[in-house]
Amino acid sequence: MFYIFCPYCKEHREEEEFHARGQAHLMRPSDPDNTSDEEWGDYLFFRNNPRGIHHEMWVHSVGCRKFFNITRNTVTYEILETYPMGEQPTITAATPDVRHEQGVQVADGGWQTVGARPESKALNEEASS
């Protein structure tokens, strides 16, 4: 189990209190009447699934019930930061070495208690260093 910092409650809470709601910072088409079916399909159904730094929208469903964003490393499950809706992340794929005390969530040995180790030996060695 790991803990997630809620930027509204201002405290770390157990992961069971939260639910992921998808990719953060999606922009709705600015002119819906003149948007093609393909553009609507891309907006509604297709999401990025990067290996590494990713921004996600979560909800504190058992607590304050507010939505917020998380910057998370999808390889290690490390949560690098949490921030309220409407704000921009301070950590991006271009700045992965930045750490914030508030949101770092790494279990003993560098692995989260949820999820599995990467499938290749090279990736396991890379993540351990």
The predicted pLDDT at position 125 comes to 59
Q: How confident is the model at residue 120 (pLDDT cuts 50, 70, 90)?
A: low
Q: What percent of the chain has pLDDT over 90?
A: 54
Within 3-117, residue ranges assigned H as helices are: 37-45
Those residues whose C-beta lies under 8 Å from the C-beta of residue 86, and which sit 6 or more positions away, are none
Average pLDDT, stretch 16-41?
93
pTM as predicted: 0.69
Contact 128, 25 (CB under 8 A): no
Q: How confident is the model at residue 126 (pLDDT cuts 50, 70, 90)?
A: low
Assigned token pair, 25: 């910072």
48-97, pLDDT tens digit by residue? 888 889 999 999 999 999 999 999 999 988 999 999 999 999 988 877 55
* pLDDT higher than 60, residue 102: no
Cα(6)–Cα(65) distance, integer angstroms: 10
The predicted pLDDT at position 94 comes to 79
Assigned token pair, 60: 């504190």
The predicted pLDDT at position 107 comes to 40
Q: Of 50 and 1, which is predicted with more confidence?
A: 50
Cα within 13 Å of Cα(82), Cβ side: 26
